[in-house]
């Protein structure tokens, strides 16, 4: 993994970015397909990551023995990942413009009120263009998290539930957004040409490894409606409460701390007993108090479930999302999703689309 970070740093020699990625590190595949609007639904193994208050209405027992997902921005990146993992070809892992890749393993146990998981989550995003300009940006968000997480959801009467998630994990990675001028100033080098020889050392000094303990809080309120009406839920979450900081390991630097993020959401669920049909509508206002464009905070989603499959659609960052699932009870689920983010300095300037695949095998997986 250290080798991969070193390659990522060296890759910055000739490129830089125009925008900055909105940090959503533990994105779920099913939620991604429906615009990442999931805070008020939170009714499967994603509850621990989206809103633990959803566990208060969990009725069954589920064990995701194998729960792994992969994410890429193109088939080219997929081939590069394959060559790196199976052939050891790390030298050609990264492209010369922009690249996103992700690999996640998280076997999960879900039961009424409780959920537990051991996880290894690798995420690499590097955006680089026009390094010759002193106003250009470099956006590097690459990390590998290994740890344990547990969540509890507690009902407070028939309409209100609260939840909390705790995560203890080790993070190795780098999270920085810099201009070429920042790099020059930091190195005390007067010209872009001289930067070429010293850039690796500067970026290496910004990478880190440390242990962190994070706490997320969530709440759900079910709006009381007459019998026969759909379920209408309001929800709110606070992730990395009090800001998650890392304890330094050895001589390595500490990873950059993770700030608190506040999210709000609502969902309407229509259930049809016949043929196990379900129709869900959801809306999230994420990163509510962060300094980003309001369109990047809006997430809309719709989902239709029918027996052994589900289809999803939505909007996030002003771009369409989509998803599809195949479910083979009682042991296997396959989820696919695509979504996009705005990478420019404004709206609808520069889109980047990503593709996710998740395989779940277990006992009544969810």
Given a contact cutoff of 8 angstroms between Cβ atoms, the answer to whether 263 and 242 are in contact is no
Each residue's pLDDT tens digit, 85-105:
788 887 777 776 778 899 999
Each residue's pLDDT tens digit, 297-348:
999 999 999 989 999 999 998 999 999 999 998 999 999 999 998 776 667 7
Mean pLDDT of 109-133: 86
What local confidence, expressed as pLDDT, does residue 304 receive? 96
Residues 6+ apart with CB under 8 A from 131: 12, 13, 14, 15, 16, 138, 180, 192
Nearest to 337 by CA among 6, 9, 124, 34: 34
Express as a percent the part of the chain with pLDDT over 70. Answer: 82
Q: H helices within 109-241, ranges in order?
A: 180-187, 192-206
Each residue's pLDDT tens digit, 28-75:
999 999 999 999 999 999 999 999 999 999 989 999 999 999 999 988
What local confidence, expressed as pLDDT, does residue 200 receive? 57
Nearest to 108 by CA among 173, 49, 57: 49
SS3 83: helix
> Long-range contacts of range 193-197, CB-CB < 8 Å, 24 or more positions apart?
196/13
What local confidence, expressed as pLDDT, does residue 190 receive? 53
Given a contact cutoff of 8 angstroms between Cβ atoms, the answer to whether 48 and 169 are in contact is no
Each residue's pLDDT tens digit, 218-227:
999 999 999 8
Q: Locate 297 and state its tokens.
A: 């905070």
| Domain 2-363 annotated CATH 2.40.160.40 | yes
């Amino acid at each position: 993994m250290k080798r991969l970070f070193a390659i990522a740093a060296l890759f910055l020699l000739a490129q830089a970015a125009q925008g900055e990625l909105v940090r959503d590190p533990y994105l779920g595949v099913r939620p991604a397909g429906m615009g990442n609007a999931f805070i008020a639904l939170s009714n499967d193994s994603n509850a621990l990551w989206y809103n633990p208050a959803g566990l208060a209405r969990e009725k069954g027992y589920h064990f995701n023995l194998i729960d792994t997902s992969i994410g890429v921005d193109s088939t080219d990146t997929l081939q590069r990942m394959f060559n790196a993992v199976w052939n050891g070809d790390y030298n050609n892992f990264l492209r010369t413009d922009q690249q996103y890749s992700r690999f996640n393993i998280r076997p999960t146990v879900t039961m009424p009120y409780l959920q537990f998981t051991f996880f290894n989550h690798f995420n690499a995003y590097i955006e680089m263009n026009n390094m010759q300009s002193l106003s250009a940006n470099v956006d590097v968000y690459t990390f590998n998290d290994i740890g344990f997480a547990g969540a509890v959801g507690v009902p407070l009467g028939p309409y209100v539930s609260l939840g909390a998630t705790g995560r203890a994990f080790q993070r190795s990675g780098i999270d920085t957004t810099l201009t070429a001028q920042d790099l020059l100033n930091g190195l005390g080098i007067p010209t872009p040409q001289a930067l070429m020889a010293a850039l690796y050392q500067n970026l290496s000094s910004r990478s880190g490894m440390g242990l962190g303990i994070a706490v997320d809080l969530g709440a759900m309120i079910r709006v009381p409606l007459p019998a026969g009406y759909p379920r209408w839920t309001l929800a709110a979450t606070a992730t990395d409460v009090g800001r998650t900081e890392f304890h330094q390991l050895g001589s390595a630097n500490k990873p950059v701390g993770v700030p608190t993020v506040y999210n709000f959401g609502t969902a309407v669920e229509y259930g049809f007993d016949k043929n196990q049909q379900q129709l869900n509508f959801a809306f999230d206002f994420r990163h509510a108090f962060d300094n980003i464009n309001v369109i990047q905070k809006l997430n809309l989603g719709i989902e239709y479930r029918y027996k052994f499959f589900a289809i999803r659609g939505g909007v996030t960052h002003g771009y369409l999302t989509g998803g599809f699932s195949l479910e083979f009870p009682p042991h296997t689920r396959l989820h696919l999703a695509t979504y996009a983010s705005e990478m420019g300095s404004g709206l609808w300037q520069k889109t980047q689309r990503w593709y996710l695949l998740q395989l779940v095998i277990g006992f009544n997986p969810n």
